[in-house]
Structure 1
Amino acid sequence: MSVLILGTATAGYLYYRHLNNNIRSSGRSGGESGVKKADPNAMGQTPLNILLIGSDSRNSAANVKLGGSRDTVGDKPRADVQMLLHISADRKSSSLVSIPRDTIVKIPECKDDETGQSYAETVDKPINESLQRGGPGCTLTTWENLTGVYIDHWVMIDFAGVVAMADAIGGVDVCVKTGVWDRSTRMVRGGSGLKLPAGTSTVKGEDALKWLRTRHAFGNDQNRAKAQHMYMNSMLRTLKKQNAWSDAGRLMNLAETATKALQVSDEIGSVKKLYDLSMQLKNVPINRITMTTIPTAEWSQDKDRLVPIEKSADQMWQMLRDDVAFDKNGKPKAKTSASAKPAGPPAAAPGTLDLTVVNGTGLGQTPRDGRASEIAQVLNGKGFDLAKASRTAEPRKETVVHYAQEDGDQGKADAASVAKALGLPETAVKADPKAGGLTLVVGADWRDGTVYEAPKAAEAGDLPEGADDLNAADEGTCMDVYSVYRWDGGKS
């Protein structure tokens, strides 16, 4: 957007300033998660992770008109839609994960960036309440704690914003297997008001919002997420066909609408930065974009709440952390020959290495007390006489051995010797420009035992059962409609 507009004269510059003034932003994070940005690949690239938030705010006349529930006017909004968008380091694939709004997670201690108010940690609240406990920054920190994935930015939109963006796009195709009318029934009050005949329909404006909000007619929140993914995939296909990124007039209309509709984290709080961000996704092929929902089960304390299925969720989080594509449509990565690797210097004698062991087992759960001391003793027994436990904690998902970046190949060799002694994979050895020396962080993936057991390496497209994956290239998907809400399209 900035490239197109700044190429014009003074009027263009004034319009650019106007768009910048439209943008609302606040702090990226609401608290400390301890999660660090992924290390760059061989080309110096890192993945890009963006948290997308849909707010249920009724604190404007437009939102009340569109969203109902007038009894919540004045309440702090909740994050009823939450999706993590992951763009691979090489920008050749993109993966998205939704979490149903009623999923019970640990919401960490947070501070609201706008009001300065602090909120205590809670372990028995649904994830949508994270927005009420410190704003979008707290929702981001909650996701980092849950996933171990560093999140670069957040973007938030409310009901009125969705309608405005849907109108600006000009309509998106969606599909239902039977006619649908999401309305109040004798047993269940409420409903989005969505009313569509069987087959494919083009929705925009308020109808688009109704589609995105429909829950009862699609059965539950998980299926609502699937319908949202269908809409987003269709929207991406529509924008590609319209060539929106190279049509100046179209782009200006979208930019005007988007800068008014969206609230963003501070680091992307300008037109140029939002434009640069959109370019990161623009060239990802449609068949390399996959949208999913985290598998969940009923919470034992309340059947109307959900909890993540831990094994399945961890599998998906690991794929995001390891930058493994959710689809199988990419080219297999070329395998490098071990003989091609430079030998490097030999590691120093174990007894001479000054090594600090840090307890990182507390990410998203209660730390395992004494874990740093336990592993330090194991290392002492293997000849690392100077290994000692730190009193500080650094919660993280995966166990790593950090060495100071300025120590170069020698630091890497020394760290690799520590990893080998404990059974850690080579990928656990990482340079850290902030590391003061050799540091082992025992992560949440190694809470027990004295020899590390590496999890199975994730493979592209290896998603767990229940992930409900939809590829953006799939135009043949239609939503099932719960029997109570089926509509004959006015034929009867």
Structure 2
Amino acid sequence: MRRIAYLAVAVLMLGVGACTSDDKKPEAAPSASAASPSPSVQVSPTPPAGVDIKGPLNILIAGIDNRESIPNWIPRSDALMILHVNADLSKAYLTSLPRDLVVNVPAFPPAKFGGERTKLTHAMMYGSRVPGTKKPSVQQGYQLMAKTVSGYTGIPKFDGGAVLTFRGLTKLVDALGGIDVYVDQKVVSIHRQPDGKVRPGCSRCEHGYSGPRMTYNVGNMHMVGWQALDYARQRYTNGGDYTRQRHQRQIIEAAVGKILQGDFLSNPASIDKVVGALGEMLTVVGMQPVALAYALRNLTPQSITQVGLPGSGAYSGSRYIGENLSSAPQKSYFQALRQDKLDAWAAANKKYVNVGSPQG
């Protein structure tokens, strides 16, 4: 999608939805067989879908590991981002939450889950369980994930959201003809060989894999689908999972830039075609992506600000239990987000803004 709708489809992430100011659908245009109006009568055109979407908006975007090769694998969220769009829909802020963030996952009756303090990635897993069947529900998992993130951030509700699988991201980037990314630090893959083949498993080897490793060197790089996914997944790097979060945001930004080279907005059918091609690899929550694409038509990559909130490991005694975000930055960030005052926050916290953005 030309603007944020494709941004969200792009990652991890995903042709998103949003809530409109009311639940009424625009009236359908008259069919060709309908009686023609009198020449003296002026007929108002049908308003475009999305014309009634108002800001500010908060959109929850997730990339999940659903192990498509394993039947009925319970999905886990591997990447989680919050996109905040300001009141006049002219600017947006994108930030990440660590997959291992220690949070309170609330009770969730549809999955017969009683609640637990655990890693954020488990919210999708617990919420996706459907009593009486082995087949998980991503829509249901999203509901618990959204409730968990709302409880942590204080965001009362999300106006829309989307979930994309690993294979869906690969397919999307390839559909775009690849994307151009600035690699800001050397990254050595644990999953892939230089030719893209999966590295063989090895129980005695570092990280459980053996063989040659794909390496992403500092500089501009054109990435195809498997490379974009592989680069976005690596966390055994300098900076660990916080570096991985930054790289995931870079992939989104690069995808948006590539999308803007086309004329998707003038051809809504192309949006539906890409979203439809992803099928079950993409779960959209809210209205159709075409509506949001229209509402956010004035956004550009330059008006989207990346924010990297700092954090560190959380421990129970000497046992690692997950990640904690640094208290002051995350509290002030989400307070400013709820008040739609992120421009002022970004001006006062420049060290957390746009770290690792594309160069060259």
TM-score (norm 1): 0.52
Residue 248 of structure 1 deviates from its aligned partner by: 6.3
Aligned to 2:251: 231
Aligned residue type for 2:97: I
Q: Do residues 307 (structure 1) and 314 (structure 2) align?
A: no
Are 2:119 and 1:126 aligned?
yes
Distance 2:308 2:173 in 1: 23
Do the aligned residues in 2 keep the contact of 1:164 with 1:261 (CA within 8 Å)? no
Shift in alpha-carbon separation, 1:117–1:196, aligned structure 2, 3 A: closer
User: Does 2:349 match 1:463?
Assistant: yes
SS at match of 1:90: coil
1:320 to 331, 337, 341: 337
Larger Rg: 1
Give the letter for the 2:145 counterpart: T
The change in CA–CA distance for 1:205 and 1:314 in structure 2 (over 3 A counts) is same
What corresponds to 1:52 in structure 2? 61
**1:345-380 deviations in whole A, cap 9, x for unaligned?**
xxxxxxxxxxxxxxxxxxxxxxxxxxxxxxxxxxxx
CA distance in structure 2 between the partners assigned to 1:218 and 1:247 by the alignment: 42
Query: Which 5+ residue runs of structure 2 have no aligned equivalent?
Result: 2-15, 20-51, 128-140, 192-203
Relative to structure 1, the CA distance from residue 263 to residue 198 in structure 2 (aligned partners, 3 Å threshold; closer, same or farther) is: same
TM-superposition CA deviations, 1:239-287 (whole Å, max 9, x none)? 112233235675454243345531122x32xxxx221122233311322
Q: 1:460 to 1:196 in 2, by over 3 A?
A: closer
Contact 2:178/2:223 (<8 A) preserved: yes
1:296·1:306 contact (CA, 8 Å) conserved in 2? yes
- Larger RCO (alpha carbons 8 Å, 6+ apart): 2
- Rounded Cα–Cα distance in structure 1 between residues aligned with 2:59 and 2:184: 32
Helix, strand or coil: the match of 2:256?
Answer: helix
Deviation at 1:155, TM superposition (A): 0.5
Shift of 1:74: 4.4
Does the CA-based 8 Å contact 1:290-1:470 persist in structure 2? no
Identity of aligned residues (%): 23
Matches within 5 A, 1:38-437: 45-58=54-67, 60-61=68-69, 74-111=72-109, 116-123=110-117, 125-134=118-127, 135-149=141-155, 150-176=157-183, 180-183=187-190, 186-190=205-209, 194-217=214-237, 219-247=239-267, 250-251=270-271, 253-265=273-285, 267-268=286-287, 273-301=288-316, 302-303=319-320, 305-326=322-343
* Structure 2 CA distance for aligned equivalents of residues 286 and 130 of structure 1: 30
Normalising by structure 2, we get a TM-score of: 0.70
Q: Is the contact made by 1:101 and 1:126 (CA closer than 8 Å) also made in structure 2?
A: yes
Instruction: Give the number of aligned pairs.
Output: 286
Cα deviation, residue 190, structure 1: 4.6
Distance 1:464 1:147, change over 3 A: farther
User: d(CA) in 2 for partners of 1:285 and 1:151?
Assistant: 22
- Seen in structure 2, the aligned counterparts of structure 1 residues 255 and 294 have a Cα distance that, compared at 3 Å, is same
In structure 2, the CA distance between the partners of 1:279 and 1:180, relative to structure 1 (3 Å rule), is same
- Give 1:295 deviation, angstroms: 2.2
SS in 1 for 2:333: helix
What's the counterpart of residue 356 of structure 1? none
The separation in 1 between residues aligned to 2:337 and 2:262, in whole angstroms, is: 30
Partners of 2:206 and 2:272 in 1: how far apart?
A: 46
- Determine helix, strand or coil for the equivalent of 1:82: strand
Change (3 A) 1:198 1:464: closer
SS in 1 for 2:81: strand
Do the aligned partners of 1:176 and 1:198 also contact (CA within 8 Å) in 2? yes
Separation of aligned partners in 2, 1:78 and 1:133 = 9
Unaligned runs of 5+ in 1: 2-24, 29-42, 65-72, 327-457, 478-492
* RMSD between superposed Cα atoms in Å: 3.3
Q: Any conservation in 2 of the 1:56–1:159 contact (CA below 8 Å)?
A: yes
Q: Aligned AA for 2:176?
A: I
